Amino acid sequence: MKIRVEELEIRFETEWPEENDLRSFLLTFRHFIANNEDVFLNRIFNLCQQKLTDDKLRKYLAGEQKIWKKVHETVGLDIVYQGKRQTPEQITQLWLSGTYFHKDEDKRSVLRGLPYPQLMLFRHQFLSYLVEATRIIFYVDRIVEKVLTEDLLKD
């Protein structure tokens, strides 16, 4: 994202993902952040900490779990809206529930009520969160694949 400030004008220049591609991606992505899903990443982290027999992999996952928690609190921009700090997780839930899936009218109205520059900052934060969270999901996937292939879980 580029932000240009010229005398009395602020201009945003960015390339957003194509909406249909993003919506398709989110259909799978949301399962990793929804606590009622089997592939909820926190559930996978906890299961691996309990059942993993390889200490080195357990250590890698513990480090990645700390990063996962941090990504929910801070990634990209630090946004304060109406006097309250908005975490990447909160902003992501605004977009997921207010635009893409649940059509939560309260969340939708928050997004619709944002002036264009703030809306673009919220969108940037949402996409930044998706990128970083996806990187972590792929990393964990590689470890879980190794764990399952090499039968590294105790009963």
- What is the per-residue pLDDT for 40? 96
Give tens-digit pLDDT for 84-125: 999 999 999 999 999 998 788 999 999 999 998 899 899 999
Number of helical H runs and strand E runs in the chain: 6, 4
- What is the per-residue pLDDT for 155? 80
- What is the per-residue pLDDT for 12? 66
Non-local CB neighbours of 141 within 8 Å, separated by 6+ positions = none
- What is the per-residue pLDDT for 1? 55
In the predicted model, residues of the chain with pLDDT beneath 70 are: 1-5, 12
